[in-house]
Structure formats: C-alpha cells, structure tokens
C-alpha cells in the first residue's frame, strides 16, 4: 500500500494528516459542487492564492507589495530568465538574494522550473510525459492515488471539485511518477508536493519539477523504508543542539524521536503546516538553496515553541510536547517573522553534510547498510546547474555520443529561447483572459 510518512522503523503516529480529512464524502462533494460537476456554480470567494474564503469573514490580512515594486521585480526576473545560464554561472548570489526577497507571483512557476533544472530535464525527454500519461499504470498505485486526490487542498479552487481539472491533473502527475520510478511507486506525501506545483504550472512541467524534487532535493524521502527522512531526523536533532540547547535537552529528556514531529514538515516541505504566504516564500528559497531551508524552518519552529524555560512550563511530558509542536503559534509562522529568522539560522550546507556523515556511520552501526541507495543530494539550483554542465562536458568529449553544439557547450540558441518565451507569454495571456471571462460569468450568475 502507499507509504505514509509514519512508516519504516518508527511509530505510525507520525503519519500524514490530510488537509480537511475529517470531512466525509458527502461534505466534500458539497464543497466541490461546481459547473464541472452539476452545472451549478455556488457563490464563492477566494483569496489571492485561490483558497475559498467565507464571504462574511474578513480573511487573513496580508501586506502586498506596491505595484511599482512588483513590476520592477518582474522586470528583473524576466531579464534573469532570458539569460539564465549567464546568471547561474556568474551571478548566482544575486539570484539567491532575489529568491530570498520572494519571486513575483506571475513568474513563480517559471522560476521554479529554471531553479530546479526541470526545464532542462523536460527538454532532454520531450515526449516522456506524454508517453507515461498514455499508459494505464499499476492498478495498485492507481487505486491508492485516486483515494488520496480529494485530500489535497480541498478548499483551493483548483481542487475543490471531485473529478475537476485540478484533481485530474494531480492524478496524471502522480501516476506518471509511479511509471517513471516503478522502484519507488507512490508515497502519500508526494501528493501535496505535486498539488502545490500544479497551482503554478501545467501538468507536464509539474511532473518534471516533482522528479527533480524527488531526485535532487529530497532523494530517498519517498522510498519504501523512508530511511532518508529518518536519517535527516537525526541530523535535525543534532543541529538543534547548536541552535537551541534548551529545546535539545527537553526533547532528549522525554526521548521524543524526531520522526514524530518532523516527518510531515520535511516530506511535505511545510506545505501542510505554514500559512500560504510563508509556504511560497519558503519554497522560493528551497528551490534556490536546497534542503538547508527546510532544516532552518524546522529549527526556528523548535527554538520558539520549546526553546525557553517559559515555553516549557506548559509541556512537561512527551504528550504535552507533541501537542505543542502540532499546534505552532501563528506569530512564529508569520511570513515576515519566519523568513527573517530562518535567514539568521547559522546552519550551512557543510554543517548538514558533515552531520550526515556522522549519522550515516551511526546508522550503519545500528542497522547495517541503507536498504535504498538514493542519489546524491543536491544543495539547490547552483549545485544542480553545475552537475548538468559537468555531465554535458563529459558527454561532449565521448567519441560515441554526439551532442548538438548548444547542448555540448551549455549555450542556448538565442532565437529559439526568444521563441519559447514569446510562446509562453501568449499562453499566459490566454490563460488570464480565460480566467477573467470565467470570473465575469460567475458574477453574472450571482
């Protein structure tokens, strides 16, 4: 059956909680009623991220950037995307800084594809997704994926309808992955990851982005024994000693295994934990800097939830501590506070890799070799880009393999790039026009 993050050598109590899983089928069908299902469009309001809101409620107050600032940032990102190889090679620090400030919403999906290397990956296998999409899929995985679809952000306009286009695309992406990586199959934590991607890009692009996350950013997280996530739990716990000795001693005192509180955080990249504005900012940095960002967010939350004697007064025991970590106080997840705090956490890629070697050695002494041999973890966009460049150079020097000049040298055909950009802009304009027509149509019906 599908693996939930609680499986492996640890207690199942750490398994995923589906968003709004407590709703029964009839309630979910009621929420999902729209024109795709029965021809009736209920009165609905959404926030700027596409989540349904109560018409009578005020909604979450969110600070928005002035329009002129947003337009300036969009112009800077468009220039970077148009000359991506040059920026990655010579100005990566600037890319990193701009990711930390937040990627403009209109360009977020495209930027994630460039940062993750999924755009290159898709270009290398242009018909692969179409091929996988046309295949039936393993009935074992297909059945489990179908049962999980309604749990993924059921109050987002894209996934609100049972059998709607959002759920259909989510099924396609997850099924394609089980065919692409049959040795891994499907893990429930992949569904929210894929759903977030689909909110920002079409199914094919979301598939390749998911592949990069599973292969490069979080390798082994979704494999059968979930060994990689358990190993990272040990790494997190060890790093906590440096960031918050008080929290470290408290968790040690009550023998609380990291897997009990960090599984959903890490496997879902905080998509089920943080407010949405914080999720997007964290993902912007995650795609640029890698898993270091996930570690830092976790360390910030642990530090502020159980990192002081005052906080520990209300959680003297394992149960009380777990309850506290399941209900993070909103002020610590607020975008402005969280982003600044995680940028200040003194944990680097080198710290993580050093601790990885230490914990891997201890693991082998306790359990023997890892059952699943996962690929080497890449710490963000620069590492992924450099590895691609190195592999291109190796292939170019192989007498048995001939690459096109632009691929062999790492340079892109300028006209082709401009053509692709023009095509993408036209597609986005068409999509915006379609959405605007749909909004007007719904207003008339109201």
Query: Are residues 148 and 43 located together in one domain of the fold?
Result: yes
**Beta carbons of 2 and 187 less than 8 angstroms apart:** yes
User: CB-hemisphere CA count at 13 Å for 8?
Assistant: 27
pLDDT, the chain, mean: 84
Q: Are residues 135 and 195 in the same domain?
A: yes
Residue 292 maps to which CATH number?
1.10.472.80
Domain that holds residue 309: 227-367
Domain assignment present for residue 198? The answer is yes
Cα(402)–Cα(386) distance, integer angstroms = 20
Confidence of residue 224 (pLDDT cuts 50, 70, 90): confident
Segment 158-180, tens digit of pLDDT: 999 988 999 999 999 999 999 99
Domain presence at residue 414? no
Q: Are residues 211 and 283 in the same domain?
A: no
102 inside domain: yes
Residue pLDDT, tens place only, 318-375: 999 999 999 999 999 999 999 999 999 999 999 999 999 999 999 999 999 888 777 7
Surface-to-core class of residue 153, CB atoms within 10 Å of its CB (0-12 exposed, 13-18 middle, 19+ buried): buried
Is the same domain home to 218 and 233? no
Task: Verify that 353 and 234 share a domain, yes or no.
Answer: yes
| C-beta neighbour count of 163 within 10 angstroms | 13
180 and 249 share a domain?
no
Higher pLDDT, 244 or 428: 244
Whether the predicted model's global pTM rises above the 0.75 cut: yes
User: Is pLDDT of 278 > 70?
Assistant: yes
**Helix boundaries (H) for 307-402:** 309-312, 318-326, 330-333, 335-344, 349-367, 381-396
Under the banding of pLDDT at 50, 70 and 90, the label for residue 389 is confident
Does pLDDT of 27 surpass 50?
Answer: no
Q: DSSP label at 8?
A: S
pLDDT tens digit sequence for 86-126: 999 999 999 999 999 999 999 999 999 999 999 999 999 99
Domain end, chosen from 202, 224, 246, is at 224
For residues 241-251, average pLDDT? 96
CA 387-390-395 angle, to 5 degrees, is 125
Per-residue pLDDT reduced to its tens digit, 430-443: 766 776 677 667 66
- Whether residues 208 and 186 share a domain: the answer is yes
Task: Please choose, from the candidates 208, 217, 193, the residue with its C-alpha nearest in 3D space to the C-alpha of residue 268.
Answer: 193
Say yes or no: 251 and 349 in one domain: yes
- Domain boundary residue among 185, 202, 224? 224
Is residue 261 included in any domain, yes or no?
yes
The answer to whether the Cα torsion of 210, 419, 395, 353 is positive or negative is negative
Report the CATH number that the domain containing residue 177 is assigned in CATH: 1.10.8.270
Q: How many domains does the chain have?
A: 2
- Quick check: is 257 in a domain? yes
């Amino acid at each position: 059956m599908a693996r939930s993050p609680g499986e492996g050598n640890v207690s199942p109590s750490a398994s995923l909680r589906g968003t709004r899983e407590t709703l029964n089928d009839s309630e979910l069908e009621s929420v999902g009623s729209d024109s795709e299902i029965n021809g009736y469009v209920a009165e609905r309001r959404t926030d700027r991220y596409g989540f349904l809101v109560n018409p009578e409620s005020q909604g979450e107050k969110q600070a928005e950037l002035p329009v002129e600032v947003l337009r300036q940032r969009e112009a800077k990102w468009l220039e970077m995307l148009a000359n991506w190889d040059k920026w990655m090679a010579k100005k990566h620090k600037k890319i990193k800084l701009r990711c930390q400030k937040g990627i403009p919403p209109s360009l977020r999906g495209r930027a994630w594809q460039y940062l993750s290397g999924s755009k290159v990956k898709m270009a290398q296998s242009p018909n692969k997704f179409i091929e996988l999409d046309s295949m039936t899929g393993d009935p074992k995985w297909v059945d489990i994926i179908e049962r999980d679809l309604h749990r993924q952000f059921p109050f987002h306009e894209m996934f609100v309808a049972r059998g709607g286009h959002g759920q259909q695309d989510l099924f396609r992406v997850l099924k394609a992955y089980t065919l692409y990586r049959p040795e891994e199959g499907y893990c429930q934590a992949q569904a929210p990851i894929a759903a977030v991607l689909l909110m920002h890009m079409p199914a094919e692009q979301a598939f390749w982005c998911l592949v990069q996350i599973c292969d490069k950013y979080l390798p082994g997280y979704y494999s059968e024994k979930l060994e990689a996530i358990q190993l990272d739990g040990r790494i997190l716990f060890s790093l906590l000693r440096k960031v918050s000795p008080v929290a470290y001693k408290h968790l040690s005192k009550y023998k609380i295994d990291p897997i009990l509180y960090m599984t959903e955080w890490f496997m879902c990249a905080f998509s089920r934990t943080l407010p949405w504005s914080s999720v997007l900012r964290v993902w912007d940095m995650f795609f640029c800097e890698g898993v270091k960002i996930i570690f830092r967010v976790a360390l910030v939350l642990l530090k502020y939830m159980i990192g002081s004697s005052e906080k520990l007064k209300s959680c003297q025991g394992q149960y009380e501590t777990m309850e506290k970590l399941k209900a993070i106080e909103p002020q610590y997840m607020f975008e402005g506070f969280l982003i600044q705090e995680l940028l200040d956490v003194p944990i680097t890629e080198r710290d993580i890799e050093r601790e990885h070697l230490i914990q891997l050695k201890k693991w082998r002494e306790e359990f023997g070799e890892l059952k699943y041999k996962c690929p080497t973890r890449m710490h963000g966009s620069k590492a992924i880009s450099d590895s691609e460049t190195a592999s291109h150079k190796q292939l170019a020097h192989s007498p048995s393999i001939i690459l096109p000049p632009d691929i062999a040298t790492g340079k892109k055909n300028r006209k082709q790039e401009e053509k692709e950009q023009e095509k993408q802009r036209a597609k986005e304009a068409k999509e915006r026009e379609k959405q605007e027509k749909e909004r007007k149509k719904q207003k008339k019906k109201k």
